[in-house]
Amino acid sequence: MIRVLLVDDQHLIRAGLRMLCDAQPDIEVVGEADNGREAVLLAARLVPDVVVMDLRMPGVDGITATSRILADRPATRILVLTTFGDDDHLYPALTAGACGFLLKDAPPADLVDGVRRAAAGDSPFSQQVLQRLVHRAVHARPETPRPAPGLTAREQDVLHLVAEGLSNTEIADRLHIGVTTVKTHITSLMTKTNSPNRVRLALFAREA
């Protein structure tokens, strides 16, 4: 079971998220918080695998709460779920250590998939957010492309699909290989390209 802590200052949002998660056989909501301070306390006590974190809340906001939770438990996965997808919210959240960034207008299935991907070590992003990250990197890149350092043909296939924002499962389906094999290729790609996370790997793909 994936243990999830829901953090949002709107009761209606939390109730909807709980109903959505409770309908999944592999996800368990272990707690709810309506502000960042309570989220930090509950994360320490309940030890969730994934924290679904709102950003704008009274008192301690989601970005501060993310930093504090990860300072105590670096293995916790923080998945941001917010209305605000602008750079002023996106980059501080990533800097604080959030592993993914979803918008509240996303389909419910995307949230469920995001929780599972976050728990599995992936970095789920709403498609428009990932596209903006890649677009910014493309226009900020130097004129000389970065070389791809000795990638195999299959690694190049995986890298291309990572840049498109596909999940490990989607990549496996597209290439007709196992999810474990995809994870192995991504680990190798991160090592070869010196990319600390999936987003950096996607940006490398565009720069190369």
Domain ranges of the chain: 2-136, 153-207
Q: CA 78, CA 119: separation in Å to the nearest integer?
A: 9
pLDDT of residue 195: 81
Q: CA 36, CA 99: separation in Å to the nearest integer?
A: 17
Strand segments, DSSP code E, in the chain are: 2-7, 27-33, 50-53, 77-82, 100-103
Which top CATH class is 2-136? alpha beta
pLDDT single digits (tens) 165-208: 788 888 999 999 998 999 899 889 888 888 877 777 877 777 66
Q: What would the mean pLDDT of 121-146 be, rounded to a whole number?
A: 66
Which top CATH class is 153-207? mainly alpha
Closest CA to 113 of 186, 20, 11, 10: 20
pTM, two decimals, is 0.68
pLDDT single digits (tens) 28-73: 999 999 999 999 999 999 999 999 999 999 889 999 999 999 999 9
